[in-house]
Amino acid sequence: MSAPNPSPEPSHPHHDHHRFAISRMFDAPRELVFSLWSDPNHLRRWWGPKGCSVGFCNMDLRPGGQLLYSLRMPDGQETWGKFVYREILPPDRLVFVTSFSDPQGTITRAPFNPKWPLEILNTLNLSQHFNLTRLTLMGEPLNPTAEELDLFESMRDSLHDAFSGTFDQMQSYLATLSAK
C-alpha cells in the first residue's frame, strides 16, 4: 500500500495576499464605463487622484500599446505615468501594466517613495447588473523585491483612498454625460 500523495504546494502561496482590489457600482451601461477607460477624451476628464488634472494624454489602445499621460497635482507638481496594455476585451475587461515614467515613457521610480514597485499589473473587469455596471480593479506588483512588496502591503489603505477618490471623479464625470 502506497502513501497518499501529498497535496502539491501552490506555486505562489501568498499570491492573493499581494493583490489590491477595489470595486464600485456605477449607474451607467457597461459600454459607457468601458469607453471612459478606452477613450483618451473621456479618460483625461476623470483620471487621477482627487484634485489632480490630466495634461498630456496619448493613448494607443491595442495589446502592446500604451497610454502616456501627465498629472498636475494640486500643489502644481507634474508627474508622468503610463499604462502598457496586455489584453483588451470590450466591454468586459482591460489588462494593463501601470508605472510612473518620464515624459518619454521610460519607467521611473514613484515620486512619493523610491521603494514603490516599478510596475503594477492591473485587471479591470466590468459586469452588467440590470442597469448598473460593477467595476472591479485588481492590482499586483510585477517582479517586486521583498522591500517593494512590504511597501505595497503597507499602503493598501492609501491605495483604497486614492482609487475611491478617482472613482468619485469618474462618477461625477458620468453624471455630466447622462445630463446631456
pLDDT for residue 2 = 39
Percent of the chain at pLDDT > 90 equals 84
CATH top class, domain 23-178: alpha beta
Distance CA 149, CA 142 (A): 10
Lowest mean pLDDT across 5-19, 113-127, 132-146 = 5-19
Predicted confidence (pLDDT) at residue 8 exceeds the cutoff of 70:
no
pLDDT for residue 123 = 98
Q: Please tell me whether residue 161 adopts helix, strand or coil conformation.
A: helix
pLDDT for residue 180 = 67
Cβ atoms of residues 37 and 17 within 8 Å: no
Other CB atoms closer than 10 Å to residue 58's CB: what's the count? Answer: 12
Taking CA atoms, 30 is separated from 25, 47, 94, 120, 175, in Å, by 10, 18, 13, 24, 15
Q: Give tens-digit pLDDT for 94-126.
A: 999 999 999 999 999 999 999 999 999 999 999
Q: Of 117, 166, 113, which Cα lies nearest the Cα of 140?
A: 117
Q: Give tens-digit pLDDT for 144-166.
A: 999 999 999 999 999 999 999 99
Domain boundaries, the chain: 23-178
Cβ atoms of residues 137 and 123 within 8 Å: yes
pLDDT for residue 161 = 94
Cis, bond preceding 4 (omega within 30 deg of 0): no
Distance CA 119, CA 142 (A): 6
